[in-house]
Amino acid sequence: MKLEIDGVTKKYREKTAVNNLSVTLTDGIYALLGANGSGKTTLMRMIADVLQPDEGEIRLDGEKIQTLGAAYRNLIGYLPQNFGYYKDFTAEDFLFYFCAVKGINGRYRKTRTQELLKYVGLYNERKKKIKAFSGGMRQRLGIAEAMLNNPSVLILDEPTAGLDPKERLRFRGMVAELSRDRIIIYATHIVSDISFIADRVLVMKDGGIALQGTVKELTDSIKGRVWLVSAERKQLSSFQKRFIVGEIVHGENNMLSMRIVSAQKPAENAVPCEPDLNDVYLECFGEVSERESECKR
């Protein structure tokens, strides 16, 4: 299966959300990494066929997705960012309803719903109304909904937003298990979510793809430019002004250890270290990702 995104552009009045973006996706997990407003959600919506591009086209195995219509939508599972739910529906009713929306009927509907509720750990809560669910439970229900039709193209837009670390870890495991024989597009601005599961990473910036490759290719591309520096706490702002500062670990005696991305050696005591995906993100955006900010605190 091959999903081609060919010269796609989408504008909202003056702002160009996605700008002449081209990429070809085959089976595997694609991490779409980018800051807020980089165009990830717009691109995901266009792939999910709920938003039409102004220019360019998206093709599945050479056929325009608009031409495929319902046949294409039968192949996709889409979990949008901040998706809505019917608060008075139970989890089971919600999935039953989306079974109907996805053309799943009869006895199979019940079997499939039960399988997925068990898988996302909501089977015991299946008779509870969604309004009583926590954010994490709702997100898991969303995953179950997206998986109902066993999609060949699974589009996950910021799926771990609002999840606690345990749920996030669990979710990551779930996605990794789903990757067989399908295209998974996983948009996030949290690097740690995808660094271990993504087959390829697409870094989006200003509506286009700034970087792409496997995790190894991307981290190799900045090898020798990531440093570990120990300094006094009062020197931090000085470093932040001059360099891209990543993870900071506070030590004793007003000392701290920080990760710096820089082509030059940032300090006398700087020690080169092995780059990770977060460093790639930092170099691309010159800012700290949300996940890492949380870690620092």
List residues near other proteins by CB under 8 A. 1, 45, 48-52, 70, 73-74, 76, 78, 80, 82-86, 88-89, 93, 96-106, 108-109, 112, 115-116, 118-119, 145, 147-152, 177-178, 180-182
- The minimum distance between CB 168 and other proteins, in angstroms, equals 19
Longest pairwise C-alpha distance within the chain? 70
Name residue 192's amino acid.
S
Closer CB to other proteins, 7 or 103, in the complex: 103
Question: Running DSSP on this structure, what letter comes out for residue 134?
Answer: -
Q: What angle do CA 178, 182, 186 make, to 5 degrees?
A: 70
- The minimum distance between CB 4 and other proteins, in angstroms, equals 18
- The minimum distance between CB 103 and other proteins, in angstroms, equals 4
Task: Say if CB 150 and CB 3 are below 8 A apart.
Answer: no
Closer CB to other proteins, 33 or 178, in the complex: 178
- The minimum distance between CB 174 and other proteins, in angstroms, equals 9
Closer CB to other proteins, 80 or 136, in the complex: 80
- The minimum distance between CB 211 and other proteins, in angstroms, equals 27
Question: Running DSSP on this structure, what letter comes out for residue 130?
Answer: G
**Which positions ≥6 away from 183 have C-beta within 8 Å?**
1, 3, 25, 26, 27, 28, 30, 152, 153, 154
Other beta carbons less than 10 A from residue 128's beta carbon = 14
The single residue listed with the structure tokens 């601005």 is 189
Closer CB to other proteins, 103 or 165, in the complex: 103
Closer CB to other proteins, 48 or 270, in the complex: 48
Closer CB to other proteins, 46 or 284, in the complex: 46
Three-state SS for 278?
helix
- The minimum distance between CB 92 and other proteins, in angstroms, equals 12
